[in-house]
């Protein structure tokens, strides 16, 4: 009978780090940012770490009474062993008396021990999963290899990230090269083109590291505009695009793309009333999309952490050059204790961090509140985003969509002629642009094709 092996662990290092965090929270703050509760072998240690890390991030000093109250309010007091459990964990006199200048270095040593055993456990778990899948006669070898690569890559990424510090020389070289490129291509698009002439004229394309927010009230065409950009980038420019669709299914997204490219009425396709000419155009559109480097993820209710992990994998595997997320308000943050506004702020900060980490522009759609409807002028403005956490300050570019027809149709005495006047009119309002100009871009929106189009002549109002 094979000898039963125990999983790698270092519960002593876990306990000692918790002691340091309890007595010297501020000194352990940076170390705590590199750990997660699931890195701890002992579940009670993971629970306590979560509470202590949150307190350190807020600059709060805990004592036994406060800690006990927090744990009881969350129904966790008994799970950490109650009074006896806390007394056993926080009884280390050496940690209590440690000089402040030694706390950080000591915490880093414990961090290394904890992460070392945590990553070994992850490797064992991944290996067990691979072995189980391989023994299953119904599984495909290529699929198992793909999953194995994803699992190992995720663990390897955690080991290789380092602390992100870089010398100035390579930074200066990059900046100078970029400056020379801009000089040689003065006035030309230097980033990812949206495919819309006047929008690109103002933005000069979307740059790597850019966090772009496209915001509007419902039914203004946010998804259509974003999918038009995705089509322009992936289908016509052949640059890999990753779309996270938290509201619509992948099938619905591709259906929109088909009718937009083919320029046929989407209702005819849904009703099965397409003509032979329609089908000819749909098949051509299908060939274009199927040959494009386009990747879709339609899992609902994704957390910002799950999106970041999926984006890292896609970047490593497919070389993604643009990420689109539809939309922010359907995402979940990792910390839901401080209310929805703070949760949205956390999501927004993480999306900006994702763009910087992968050097890939991130376009995120955002729903605007009903406050717009209470004004005489319904045109959205930056202040409409201020109730949505820190989206406005995090974003490098903010674009609003506005269609007058949406409001005209509900006015009294509106005639068909009145509607014909505004039906296809749309505006892209660029209200924030860290690296370029602001302005309003007049466009056409053909609703039956879910397609935005440039005006025949340049139409920018600055």
pLDDT tens sequence across 34-88? 788 889 998 889 888 888 888 887 777 778 888 888 888 888 888 888 888 777 7
| pLDDT one-digit tens code per residue, 168-177 | 666 666 667 7
**C-beta neighbour count of 382 within 10 angstroms:** 16
Question: For the domain with range 11-158, which CATH number is right: 1.10.860.10, 1.10.10.60, 1.10.443.10, 3.40.50.300?
Answer: 1.10.860.10
**Quick check: 113 and 10 in contact, CB under 8 A?**
yes
pLDDT at 376 over 50: yes
Quick one: what percent of the chain has pLDDT higher than 70?
85
- Give residue 266's pLDDT: 76
Distance CA(414)–CA(219), nearest Å, equals 20
Residue 1 binned pLDDT confidence (cut-offs 50, 70, 90) = very low
339-346 LR contacts (CB < 8 Å, sep 24+): 341/387, 341/388, 341/389, 342/389, 343/389, 344/388, 344/389, 344/390, 344/391, 345/389, 345/390, 345/391, 346/304, 346/389
- Give residue 244's pLDDT: 93
Q: In whole numbers, what is the pLDDT of the chain averaged over residues?
A: 82
Q: What is the mean pLDDT of residues 247-269?
A: 86
- Give residue 238's pLDDT: 92
247 is catalytic: yes
**C-beta neighbour count of 439 within 10 angstroms:** 17
**Omega into 327 within 30° of 0, i.e. cis?**
yes
pLDDT at 2 over 60: no
**Quick check: 304 and 331 in contact, CB under 8 A?**
yes
Say if residue 427 is exposed, middle or buried (CB neighbours under 10 Å; 0-12, 13-18, 19+): buried
Cα–Cα separations (whole angstroms), residue 380 to 235, 384, 442 = 31, 7, 15
Distance CA(445)–CA(434), nearest Å, equals 27
| pLDDT one-digit tens code per residue, 410-434 | 666 667 676 667 788 888 999 999 8
Cα–Cα separations (whole angstroms), residue 94 to 17, 98, 300 = 12, 6, 48
- Give residue 319's pLDDT: 92
* More confidently predicted of 184 and 300: 300
- Give residue 34's pLDDT: 78
- The residues facing 362 across adjacent strands are 211, 323
Q: Which of 54, 147, 247, 357 is catalytic?
A: 247
Domain spanning 193-461, CATH architecture: 3-Layer(aba) Sandwich (3.40)
Q: What is the DSSP string of 189-209?
A: --SB--S-HHHHHHHSSBPTT
Q: 3-state class of 444 per DSSP?
A: strand
Q: What is the mean pLDDT of residues 388-401?
A: 86
Residue 213 binned pLDDT confidence (cut-offs 50, 70, 90) = very high
Q: What are phi and psi of 209, to 5 degrees?
A: 80, -10
Q: What is the mean pLDDT of residues 448-458?
A: 88
Q: What is the mean pLDDT of residues 368-388?
A: 77
- Give residue 163's pLDDT: 45
Residue span(s) of the chain under CATH 1.10.860.10 come to: 11-158
Q: What is the mean pLDDT of residues 260-282?
A: 83
**Quick check: 308 and 228 in contact, CB under 8 A?**
no
Residue span(s) of the chain under CATH 3.40.50.300 come to: 193-461
Distance CA(47)–CA(55), nearest Å, equals 13
Residue 113 binned pLDDT confidence (cut-offs 50, 70, 90) = very high
Q: Which residues lie closer than 8 Å to 80 by C-beta, 6 or more apart?
A: 44, 47, 48, 71, 86, 89
pLDDT at 313 over 90: no
Query: Worst-scoring range by mean pLDDT, 287-301, 328-342, 347-361?
Result: 328-342
- Give residue 452's pLDDT: 92
- Give residue 150's pLDDT: 63
Distance CA(226)–CA(244), nearest Å, equals 11
Q: Directed axis angle between helix 100-135 and helix 141-160, to 10°?
A: 170
Continuous segment of H or E residues that includes residue 344? helix 340-358
pLDDT at 156 over 80: no
| pLDDT one-digit tens code per residue, 322-341 | 999 988 888 877 666 667 77
Q: What is the mean pLDDT of residues 242-266?
A: 88
Q: What is the mean pLDDT of residues 434-457?
A: 88
pLDDT at 226 over 90: yes
Q: Which residue has the tokens 């790597």?
A: 208
Cα–Cα separations (whole angstroms), residue 352 to 91, 323, 334, 346, 360 = 41, 12, 16, 10, 10
* More confidently predicted of 424 and 364: 364
- Rounded to two decimals, the pTM is 0.63
Q: Which residues lie closer than 8 Å to 219 by C-beta, 6 or more apart?
A: 406
Continuous segment of H or E residues that includes residue 431? strand 425-433
- Give residue 33's pLDDT: 76
- Give residue 384's pLDDT: 81
**CA-based end-to-end distance of the chain:** 79
| pLDDT one-digit tens code per residue, 15-31 | 899 888 888 888 888 78
Q: Directed axis angle between helix 11-23 and helix 82-89, to 10°?
A: 90
Residue 321 binned pLDDT confidence (cut-offs 50, 70, 90) = very high
Query: Worst-scoring range by mean pLDDT, 162-166, 312-316, 395-399, 401-405?
Result: 162-166
Q: 3-state class of 302 per DSSP?
A: coil
Distance CA(79)–CA(37), nearest Å, equals 14
**Quick check: 40 and 49 in contact, CB under 8 A?**
yes
**Quick check: 31 and 24 in contact, CB under 8 A?**
no
- The residues facing 426 across adjacent strands are 443
């Amino acid at each position: 009978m094979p000898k039963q092996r125990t999983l790698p662990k270092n519960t002593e290092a876990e306990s000692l780090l918790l002691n340091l965090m309890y007595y010297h929270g501020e000194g352990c703050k940076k170390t705590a940012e590199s750990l997660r509760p699931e890195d701890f072998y002992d579940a009670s240690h993971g629970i306590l770490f979560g509470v202590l890390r949150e307190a350190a991030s807020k600059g709060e000093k805990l004592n036994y009474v406060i800690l006990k109250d927090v744990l009881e309010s969350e129904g966790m007091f008994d799970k950490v062993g109650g009074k006896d459990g806390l007394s056993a964990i926080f009884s280390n006199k050496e940690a209590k008396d440690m000089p402040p200048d030694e706390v950080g270095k000591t915490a880093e040593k414990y961090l290394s021990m904890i992460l070392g055993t945590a990553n070994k456990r992850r490797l064992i778990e991944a290996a067990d999963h691979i072995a189980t899948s391989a023994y299953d006669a119904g599984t495909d070898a290529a699929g198992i290899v793909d999953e194995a690569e994803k699992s190992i890559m995720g663990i390897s990424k955690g080991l290789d990230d380092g602390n992100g510090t870089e010398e100035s020389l390579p930074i200066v070289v990059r900046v100078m090269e970029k400056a020379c490129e801009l000089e040689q291509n003065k006035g030309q698009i230097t980033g990812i083109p949206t495919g819309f002439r006047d929008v690109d004229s103002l933005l000069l394309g979307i740059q790597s590291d850019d966090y772009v927010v496209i915001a509007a009230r419902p039914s203004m065409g946010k998804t259509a505009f974003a999918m038009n950009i995705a089509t322009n980038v992936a289908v016509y420019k052949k640059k890999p695009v990753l779309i996270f669709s938290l509201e619509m299914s992948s099938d619905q997204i591709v259906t929109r793309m088909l009718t937009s490219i083919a320029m046929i009425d989407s209702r005819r396709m849904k009703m099965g009333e397409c003509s032979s000419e329609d089908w000819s155009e749909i098949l051509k559109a299908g060939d274009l999309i199927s040959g494009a480097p386009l990747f879709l993820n339609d899992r609902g209710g994704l957390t910002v952490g799950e999106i970041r992990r999926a984006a890292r994998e896609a970047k490593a595997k497919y070389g993604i050059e643009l990420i689109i997320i539809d939309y922010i308000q359907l995402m979940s943050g990792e910390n839901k204790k401080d209310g929805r506004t703070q949760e949205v702020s956390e999501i927004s900060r993480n999306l900006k961090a994702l763009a910087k980490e992968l050097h890939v522009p991130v376009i995120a759609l955002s729903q605007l509140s009903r406050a717009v409807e209470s004004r005489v002028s319904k045109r959205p403005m930056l202040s409409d985003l201020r109730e949505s956490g820190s989206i406005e300050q995090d974003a490098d570019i903010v674009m609003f969509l506005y269609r007058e027809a949406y409001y005209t149709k509900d006015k009294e005495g509106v005639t068909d002629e009145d509607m014909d006047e505004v039906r296809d009119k749309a505006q892209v309002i660029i209200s924030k642009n860290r690296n370029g100009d602001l302005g309003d871009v007049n466009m056409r929106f053909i609703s039956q094709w879910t397609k935005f189009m440039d005006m025949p002549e340049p139409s920018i109002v600055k």
